[in-house]
Amino acid sequence: MKRELEMIPLDSEIFKFDCHKGLSCFTECCSKLDLLLTPYDVLRIKNRLNMDSKSFIDEYTDMDLEDYPPFPILKLKMREDGRCPFLREDGCSIYEDRPSACRLYPLARASMIVGADNKERFFLIRDEKCLGLNEEREWKIKDWLRHEGVEEYDRFNFPWFEIVTSSEELPAESRERLFKKMKAFFMASYDLDNFKRLILTEKFFQIYNVPPSVREKVFTDEKELLYLSFEWIRFVLYGKRGAVINPMDRSQEM
């Protein structure tokens, strides 16, 4: 059973929190979690574990489907005893590559998309087991994000959440075509090794006009590959042409 956590809207830039091994709740927070994984989370953890993306997905994740569009979203699969698979006696075994949600805690974002007034909305996650919330150390939100390395993750999470939470309507289409698009979304989001195999085919660069400077980078730099995958998803879903992907022949598109 997943833990029920209360979300309290934060009205101030400041909150109180401290987490350290001296607290009796140490590692209590790492079980029964409903923990969404972003593509960048998967990239970081599968590399940490020296696994290919497909093997990581099979072993460590469960899939959830959004309502509509039915985006397939990965969650970290908890062990049978409810604990996170990366939890050890002395804490998180993948700490330097822990997922975005673990970095943000005890904060959560209402949405990765900024509101109408251009401000992000943050919540404080109220977990009665978490004694760190009773500590007196004060944090400004921006200092917390920097301290936890969230900013690096945001570079990749924002563009992806923009796709997933977009209010833009998908073009009306058959069930079969929608299924095909969701499969493409999943592969380019999470199964990056497979996406790389796709672009290695001659056909990809025959269809999409990717500048040579980008082509070179995507084969050696997985972060560049991830950016390319987001552009490709936007094109496949909404027909949006980015600066990098411009189809040469629309008759060959998905």
Q: Where are the alpha helices (DSSP H) in 22-174?
A: 39-48, 53-60, 100-104, 141-147, 150-164
Quote the crossing angle between the two packed helices 222-238 and 39-48, to the nearest 10°: 150
- Residue closer to ligand SF4 by CB (options 67, 80) is 80
Does 51 help bind ligand SF4 (rule: CB under 6 A)?
Answer: no
* Angle value at C-alpha 43, between 158 and 143, nearest 5 degrees: 50
| 84 sits near ligand SF4 (criterion: CB under 6 A) | yes
Q: Using the rule CB under 6 A, is 144 a contact of ligand SF4?
A: no
* 98 near ligand SF4 (CB under 6 A): yes
Q: Give the nearer residue to ligand SF4 in terms of CB position, either 30 or 42.
A: 30
Single-letter amino acid, residue 1: M
Q: How far is the CB of 207 from ligand SF4 (least distance, A)?
A: 38
Given CA atoms 228, 229, 232, 237 in this order, what sign does their dihedral have? negative
Nearest C-alpha neighbor of 101 from the set 38, 26, 13: 38
The amino acid at 180: K
Q: Shortest gap between Cβ of 99 and ligand SF4 (angstroms)? A: 6
When asked if residue 125 is in the footprint of ligand SF4 (CB under 6 A), the reply is no
Question: Judged by CB under 6 A, which of 36, 49, 92, 164 binds ligand SF4?
Answer: 92
Q: Is 26 in the site for ligand SF4 (CB under 6 A)?
A: yes
Distances (CA, A) of 219 to 36, 172, 214, 223: 27, 34, 9, 10
Which helix (H) or strand (E) segment is 53 a member of?
helix 53-60
Nearer to ligand SF4, 190 or 195 (CB): 190
Task: Write each residue from 29 to 48 as x if it is in contact with ligand SF4 (CB under 6 A), else as -, in one continuous string.
Answer: xx--x---------------
Residues that bind ligand SF4 (CB under 6 A): 19, 23, 25-30, 33, 84, 86-87, 92, 94, 98-99, 102, 129-132
